[in-house]
Amino acid sequence: MVEKVFWQDPYKTELDAVVTRAHGNSIWVDKTIFFAFSGGQASDKGTFNNINVVEAVKEEDTDDIHYVLESNPFKPGDRIHMTIDAEHRMRIMRLHGAAHVVDYFVLPKLGNPETIGSNVHEDKARLDFAYPESIAPMMAELQKEIDVFLSEPHAISVREGTDDLRHWICEEIDLPCGGTHLKNTAEIGEIKLRRKNIGAGKERIEITLLA
Ligand SMILES: [Zn+2]
C-alpha cells in the first residue's frame, strides 16, 4: 500500500517515488503527497514527470490510491517525480481547517444535529446539517464568534490512530478526519459564512476565504 506522505508533511509539494504497478493509464506508487478525494476533501492537482494526473482515486476496499494519467509511459520500478499545485492545496487546507472550526461553533447552537454532508474544494467549503428550520437568524452571531476565534492563533495537531482514525486537535476541538491539515489556525485568515437553503429539513453553511 502507498505510504501517505501527505499526512506526515502536508506542506510538501514535490516528491520522488517509485511506480509499483501500471495498468493502462493508471499507476500505483510506493509513496505519495498527492491526496485523493475522500472524506469530502477534493483531490490535489499535479503532475508525475510533467504528465498531468487526470484523476486520483482512493480505493475504498484496499485504502490504496491509484492515479489516472493523461498518458502512461511508466512501468513498475520506474522512478517518478511528482509535484502538486501548492496554491490549490493551501486553499483546500485553509478551507478544510475553517470547516472544522465552523462545525465546532455551529453544532452546539443547533443542538448537535446530524451532519449530512461536507465538502472542501479550492473555492469553498460547505457543511450540511439535518435541521428543521432556517439558521439565518443565528448566522451573524456565528460569524462573530468565529471571527474572534480566528483572530488569535491556535495550534493544530493530529493524533494518529490506525490509518483511518486520525484526529484533528485544536484547543478542545477533537474531530476524526483523514484530510490534510494546517499547523495553525492563523494560516486560515478571514472567512465569510453564508447560509443556504437546500430543501426542507436541510441547512447548508458555505465558507469562503476573504483573501
Ligand atoms: Zn479535517
* Domains (range + CATH), the chain: 3-84 (2.40.30.130), 88-209 (3.30.980.10)
* Alpha carbon of 208 to ligand 1 centroid (Å): 16
* Alpha carbon of 152 to ligand 1 centroid (Å): 20
pLDDT digits (tens, 9 = 90+) for 110-127: 999 999 999 999 999 999
Full-model pTM: 0.95
Can you tell me the mean pLDDT for 98-104? 97
- Is residue 81 a contact partner of residue 14, using CB atoms and an 8 Å limit? yes
* Alpha carbon of 144 to ligand 1 centroid (Å): 22
How many C-beta atoms surround the C-beta of residue 202 within 10 A? 15
* Alpha carbon of 22 to ligand 1 centroid (Å): 31
State the pLDDT at residue 164: 63
* Alpha carbon of 24 to ligand 1 centroid (Å): 33
pLDDT digits (tens, 9 = 90+) for 144-155: 999 999 999 999
State the pLDDT at residue 165: 80
How many C-beta atoms surround the C-beta of residue 30 within 10 A? 12
Q: What is the dihedral of CA 90, 91, 92, 96, to 10 degrees?
A: 100
How far apart are the C-alpha atoms of 90 and 106, rounded to whole Å? Answer: 24
How far apart are the C-alpha atoms of 182 and 80, rounded to whole Å? Answer: 27
Q: pLDDT tier at 163 (50, 70, 90 boundaries)? A: low
* Alpha carbon of 79 to ligand 1 centroid (Å): 31
- Is residue 96 a contact partner of residue 120, using CB atoms and an 8 Å limit? yes
DSSP 8-class letter at 70: S
pLDDT digits (tens, 9 = 90+) for 72-90: 999 999 999 999 999 999 9
